[in-house]
Amino acid sequence: MDSTSSSASLIIPSFRCFDATNHRRYYSTLPSCSPTPQGAGGGSASIHVMGNSTTIADPKIITGDCGYLLDDVPHLSDYIQDLPTYSNPLQDNPAYSVVKQYFVDVDDTVAEKIVVSKESPRGNHFRRAGPRQKVYFESDEVHACIVTCGGLCPGLNTVIREIVCGLYHMYGVTGVLGIEGGYKGFYARNTIPLTPKVVNDIHKRGGTILGTSRGGHDTSKIVDSIQDRGINQVYIIGGDGTQKGASVIFEEIRRRGLKVAVVGIPKTIDNDILVIDKSFGFDTAVEEAQRAISAAHVESESIENGIGLVKLMGRHSGFIAMYATLASRDVDCCLIPESPFYLEGPGGLFEYIEKRLNENGHMVIVVAEGAGQELLSGNTCTMDNIDASGNKQLQDVGFWISQKIKDHFSKKQKLTINLKYIDPTYMICAVPSNASDNVYCTLLAHSAIHGAMAGYTGFTVGPVNGKHSCIPFQRITERQNKVVITDRMWARCLSSTNQPSFFSPKQPFEKIGDEKHGDNHVEDLAIK
C-alpha cells in the first residue's frame, strides 16, 4: 500500500462558495468566502448522508487565474475517509514501458473552448482522462460490471470488449460481470461473467452481446443489486437517458457512502450528447447512410421525375442527416428537426421539388425522423405515445412526406413523379462499427477504466477538442446537443444542396436561432 492520503487527488486547495448569479457552488483558490468543511475538494473527506432521498451533488467548480474554471468530477475520497491508494500496476507493464510520460499529471485539464482571442478569459476546463500514478483499487479487489441501455448503435460490442480487455491487460482485473438487458437487468436478469476470451470477437458484430432495453430504471433496486453483488466499478454505456440514469445511481451510491465508481460511456447514434466532440458509432452511421442515399440517387436518376426519399435517425438532432448529406453531395434537400420547413406556397418544399425536377429531372431528399413533427401533429392521426423510457414516439415523417408529395403532384397533372422511399434506420443502428469507430471505442473504454481506477466517479468520458476528458454527469445531462442552424456547418449543408432556407416571412431568421438555442445562442454562433 502507498502512503498517499485520500486528498492527494485534489489539485487546488479550495473553499466552498455559492455564486448567486449562476446558482452554482464552486471551489475557489482564493479564500474570498469563509471556508466550510466539506469533502469534495477540501480534503476533509467524510461520508455525506443526506437524508432518505438522494440529493444532487453540488458541481465541483474550481477557479484559477485569468478566468480559469475547472468543471471537476466527483471522487470517492470526497465522501469516504482515509481511502488507501496504490501504485498503478501499469508502471510494470512491458507494453507501456516505452512510453516516456505515460501517466497523466493530476493538474492536466482540457479547455472546453479552444478558439480564443487575446482578451478571452481562460474559460471552462475538464479533467483530462488517462492513467494516474496512484490508483484507489487493488487489481484483485475490483469487481466491475458493464451494462448497455437505450437503442442500438455501432460500436457497443467494441466498448464492452475493450473494457473487459483493458481492465484485464492494464490492471490485471478478472472480475467483470455483464448485466443483461439494460438497467432492469440489475434486478430482473442474470449476469454474464466476461473474460477476454468471451469477448474476443464481439467487436465484429453489431448490437450488444449484453442486450439492452428502455425503461425499468429503479434506482433503489439497481443500487441494492450493486451492493449485494459486491460490485465496485459500474460501467454504463448509453445515450442521454442512460446518462441521467447513471447520474441518479451515482447519487444514491454516494448517499449510501459506498466505494463504488460509476462511469458513463456516451452512446448515441443521434450525436445528441453535449460537450463531447462526437459520439461513437456516428461515423459508421454516416457511412452506412451513404448506401441508402446512393440507392435513392440511382433509383431517382433512372426514371423520369424520380424522387429518392431517405429517412435517417435523429429524433431531436439532425446530425446524421446533415453529415450524410454533406458527405454524399447527391442530396438536393436535407430536412432536420432544428430547421422548420413548410410544404405549400412560395419558398415551400413543393415549389422547390418542382424547380429541381424541371432543372435536373430527378432529386434526392434526406429527412431526419424528428423533422417537421409540428406539421404532422397538425394531422388528425396524432399519436402522443411515449416509449418505456418516456421518449415521445414520433410519427413516420418519411411516410407522411411521401404521401404529401405524391398527393400534391397527382393533383398537378402536368408533372408525373416517381417517388421511392427508403428507410434504413435499423440497418444503420445494427451494423458493426467501422475501423475509426473501433479505435475511438477503445480510447473511450480506456479513459473510463483509468478514471474509475483513479477513484473518480459520477462522470462520463469523451473527447473534448480531441483530448479525452472526464465530464461530470451534470454537464452531460443538462440538455441535448442539437444542430445549430445559425452555425456554419448548417450553412455548408444548405450551400451543398441549394435548398431554400424555408424561413417564412412570419418567422425571422434571428428569431429561429433564439427560440431553438435560448441562452446558448450567442456562444453557439462562434465559428466551429
Ligand X SMILES: Nc1ncnc2c1ncn2[C@@H]1O[C@H](COP(=O)(O)OP(=O)(O)OP(=O)(O)O)[C@@H](O)[C@H]1O
Ligand Y SMILES: O=P(O)(O)OC[C@H]1O[C@](O)(CO)[C@@H](O)[C@@H]1O
Q: Which stretch binds ligand X (CB under 6 A): 110-118, 148-156, 497-505, 514-522?
A: 148-156
Active site residues: 270
- From the list Mg ion, ligand Y, ligand X, none, which binds 245 (C-beta under 5 to 8 Å, kind-based)? ligand X
Q: Quick one: cell of 500?
A: 431554400
**Considering beta carbons, is residue 240 or 330 the nearer one to Mg ion?**
240
Interface segment toward Mg ion; rule CB under 5 A; list 165-173, 228-236, 241-249, 250-258:
241-249
Provide the annotated binding site for ATP.
151, 214-215, 239-242
- Judged by CB under 6 A, which of 39, 41, 181, 239 binds ligand X? 239
| DSSP-assigned states of every residue in 230-288 | T--EEEEEE-HHHHHHHHHHHHHHHHHT---EEEEEEB-TT--BSSSS--BTHHHHHHH
CB of 311 or CB of 408, closer to ligand Y: 311
Q: Could you tell me how many residues make up the chain?
A: 528
Nearest C-alpha neighbor of 41 from the set 29, 52, 27, 55: 27
Q: Which does 367 bind (CB under 5 to 8 A by kind): Mg ion, ligand X, ligand Y, none?
A: none
- Answer with the entry of Mg ion, ligand X, ligand Y, none that 215 interacts with (C-beta below 5 to 8 A by kind): ligand X
* 111 DSSP β-pair partners: 125
Among 43, 131, 150, 306, binds ligand X (CB under 6 A): 150
Q: What is the grid cell recorded at 513? A: 436561432
Buried b (16+ CB within 10 A) or exposed e, 350-361: bebbbebbeeee
Distance in Å, CB of 214 to ligand X, minimum: 4
The secondary structure of the chain in percent helix, strand, coil, rounded to multiples of 5, reads: 35, 20, 45
Count of CB atoms situated within 10 Å of the CB of 380: 4
> Contact letters (x/-) for ligand X, 194-223, by CB under 6 A?
--------------------xxxx------
Question: Which of ligand X, Mg ion, ligand Y, none does 306 bind, CB closer than 5 to 8 A by kind?
Answer: none
The binder of ligand X chosen from 389, 457, 460, 496 (CB under 6 A):
389
Cβ at position 369, least distance to ligand X in Å: 12
Q: Which is nearer to ligand Y, 149 or 275 (CB)?
A: 149
Which CA distances in Å does 276 have to 19, 56, 110, 466, 522? 26, 22, 12, 9, 19
Position among 59, 245, 314, 455 found at the interface with ligand X (CB under 6 A): 245
| Integer Cα distance of 41 and 361 in angstroms | 65
Please state the separation of Cα 197 from the chain's center in Å.
29
Q: Which residues are annotated as a binding site?
A: 151, 214-215, 239-242, 268-270, 313-315, 369
- Residue 188 CA to residue 213 CA, distance in Å, equals 12
Q: Of Mg ion, ligand X, ligand Y, none, which one sits near residue 40, judging by CB under 5 to 8 A according to partner kind?
A: none
Q: In terms of DSSP H, where are the helices of 143-239?
A: 156-171, 185-188, 196-199, 219-228
Residue recorded with cell 475547472: 70
Q: How far is CA 419 from the centre of its chain?
A: 35
| Least Cβ distance, residue 238 to Mg ion (angstroms) | 8
For ligand X, the binding residue among 80, 90, 149, 265 (CB under 6 A) is: 149
- Amino acid identity, residue 215? G
Q: How far is the CB of 428 from ligand Y (least distance, A)?
A: 9
**Cα→Cα distances 223→184, 215, 388, Å:** 11, 16, 20
Q: From the CB of 211, what's the least distance to ligand Y, in Å?
A: 13
Task: Specify the residue, 248 or 334, whose C-beta has the smaller distance to ligand X.
Answer: 248
Shortest CA distance to 28 belongs to which of 38, 468, 451, 472?
38
DSSP per-residue string spanning 305-330:
TEEEEEEE--SS--HHHHHHHHHHS-
Point out the annotated binding site for Mg(2+): 240
Give CA–CA dist 341/318, Å, rounded: 14
306 sits near ligand X (criterion: CB under 6 A): no
Asked if 233 and 137 count as a contact pair (C-beta separation under 8 A), the reply is yes
Residues that bind ligand Y (CB under 6 A): 151, 239, 269-270, 313-315, 369, 387, 429
> In angstroms, what is the minimal distance from the CB of 153 to ligand Y?
7
The least CB distance from residue 339 to ligand Y, in Å, is 17
- Residue 257: count of CB within 10 angstroms of its CB: 15
Question: Is residue 240 involved in binding Mg ion (CB under 5 A)?
Answer: yes
Tell me whether residue 178 or residue 241 sits nearer to Mg ion (CB atom): 241
Q: Is 239 in the site for Mg ion (CB under 5 A)?
A: yes
Stretch that binds Mg ion, among 208-216, 233-241, 363-371, 437-445 (CB under 5 A): 233-241
420 binds, among Mg ion, ligand X, ligand Y, none (CB under 5 to 8 A by kind): none
Residues forming contacts to Mg ion in the complex (CB under 5 A) are 239-241
Contacting residues toward ligand X, per CB under 6 A: 149-151, 182-183, 214-217, 238-242, 244-245, 248, 268, 389, 391
